[in-house]
A and B are shown apart, each in its own frame.
Chain A
């Protein structure tokens, strides 16, 4: 049996390698407690200490080979490890480097908390990383962007140095609905890295920064970024909020992009400390975090969610976008009778961030979490999947005792389409609706149906409608409508061909055509409105 595919008790074996320097004196981790706690609490996890793991990638490779693990978590004391060499060693050991989780325990635990607190936090962070590593389903070459080696020397003439690869988003053609007019990812990408060629979405890897905006914007979950599938996020957050030890509760999620992570590192460098309950979750960019995720954290048991602001990346609109999303979440909580301060935008400047982490902790961590026990997995299956965003909001509304919540907000992730009297059931809006919220369906009777849970308020339906002032789009989150699902907005009988009895077009459209052709000879009008396209030739 291949040791890399062997499973223990139904769980994929995960090796957790900890840099032994983490246990150094002067406030380091109690590595024994970390190991024992983790191995007891998380099945099929084997923790091993590795001397100087941050500097010796070959030791990591050898340790992985010896462990026979299928997945790996590295707990390091610093970030500046030799990634290219480490990745090569991991490939030799049969692991995909993109599935390896690296936790900066130096910045997130050792240097900002007391030994006891840091040890507890390290266990939680490592358990979360192990859960995410376990759900890694592999990456494709499309997900890889090779980077030019940074260091060069004359000795390297006519040779290529070891490469580093960056994970980038890739579109699964078989799930993509670009052919049906969906363009959500194109609109979401702040770098114009995506384009439509030959009916397929193509990624220009040289422009992609792996921000992940396209991943969470895709209504069909056709775009993936290794590490950030809905299943991986769910596994990570579930363990972050649910992993022992219980005494770390209540917990709050601290969402940071790479710039926010740098701010936290800077804080760690100053020797400052902040409440241990803040559990960092590094995301590729804030632009990829939809409001449904922020609310899902609360739904899964977080007492609060802090988003460390970022003014440095992801295009000019990122700050406005994330501010709007946070404000939307606060609005939902306000209207539902929850505490709006549970979701906060924190400054990125280190000293201001430190102050905010303390003051917000007082506001957030003193009140009990909205959800005392995380809901059963089936209640909101895949809470971080695009298709589940309405389900998360509805479930949260019910838990807050506000099932009839309806709010209008510019950052509402849902839209609400309303149809006026002028609709002819031509289906132009449905054809333009990439997410599939609007559909023209029906056999005996034409029906324009709408599912608000799928609507992203992109507005393409409005642009496609040929009838002025007929369609209206509101950025509204309406929980009763979201829970009802798909409903017909307009219905109309089909006009039938007088020759063969087949359908010609919906009756409202024929009436509209009749009005347009009012000045034409009656015979023309008759042919067009009474015969189907197949029989029209015979009629003339």
Chain B
């Protein structure tokens, strides 16, 4: 059998040419459900990395990082891919380093003397009334999606880990929506993520990252928070693009805003 593109009927040649053209511009697509799942996992990992580093938590994070790494090179089409791989390596390195990390955590985030408190209200320099209003607004946002902050967690609603866990939760629901082909719900959840990223994480995490990197330029937290800022920035762009992509009627996307 001759497999040369020049061979075969004109129709075959035309089909081969079309396929070649498609291969040129379109790589293997990433299912939206898989993308949402991955994004949720990254947010969850980042959020947990910014909680107090108990040995058990670090161990669980290292396991999660290893699992994510095995997801392979599916996401190499995203520009954040190298930074994500670096993050996974960084997280895996932390297992067994609880003592050092606890000291760093206390210095950076508990004492807060370097301007590194991991809370939105602190980074946006809100006064007590503003901080209270922000906490109330965040709790309303969480409640709007049917979740609430577990008081036993001991964190404020504007803590970086809580906000990231909320986005991870939205990603999980978005994944379920795409998987069940509920496109309108998938788009609604993307819109919620866009709004939350713009109004919260996207506004203060870059500043937070600058402060931590200034105080801990070559340390573990400097790397993690740098990755968090990079991921949040990339994710804002990605969510915008996903909204545009799923709106495109040419590809059957649906669901109005």
Contact = CB atoms under 8 A, between A and B. Distances in A.
Interface string B66-95: 000000010011111111000000000000
Interface in A143-164: 144-146, 148-163
Interface stretch (A86-94, A235-243, A342-350): A86-94
Interface of B is mostly: helix
Interface in B148-165: none
A165 B252 contact: no
A371 to B, nearest CB: 41
A175 to B, nearest CB: 12
B29 A165 contact: no
Nearest to A198: B203
B200 interface: no
Interface stretch (A77-85, A246-254, A263-271, A446-454): A77-85
A142 interface: yes
A173 B210 contact: yes
Interface in B1-44: 21-33, 35
Interface stretch (B54-62, B135-143, B232-240): B232-240
A148 to B, nearest CB: 6
Query: B interface, how many residues as a size bin?
Result: 35 or more
A140 interface: yes
B236 to A, nearest CB: 9
Interface string B220-245: 00000000001101100110111011
A9 interface: no
A96 interface: yes
A113 interface: no
A149 B76 contact: no
A153 B22 CA distance: 9
A105 B47 CA distance: 48
A128 B205 CA distance: 39
B25 A141 contact: no
Nearest to A90: B76
Contacts of A84: 25-27, 77
Query: Of residues B79, B80, B251, which shows the largest number of chain A Cβ atoms within 10 Å of its Cβ?
Result: B79
Nearest to A81: B24
A142 B26 contact: no
B32 A144 contact: no
A156 B241 contact: no
Given A82-B24, A88-B76, A141-B79, A159 B233 contact: no
B244 A148 contact: yes
B207 to A, nearest CB: 8
A138 to B, nearest CB: 10
A78 B154 CA distance: 59
A371 B82 CA distance: 44
B245 A148 contact: yes
A80 B24 CA distance: 9
Given A141-B237, A144-B79, 8 more contacts: A88-B27, A89-B76, A141-B80, A156-B251, A158-B31, A158-B183, A160-B35, A162-B77
Interface of B: 21-33, 35, 73, 76-83, 178, 181, 183, 206, 210, 230-231, 233-234, 237-238, 240-242, 244-245, 248, 250-252
13 contacts: A84-B26, A87-B77, A88-B77, A96-B82, A140-B230, A141-B231, A144-B79, A149-B245, A150-B25, A151-B22, A152-B250, A155-B29, A157-B251
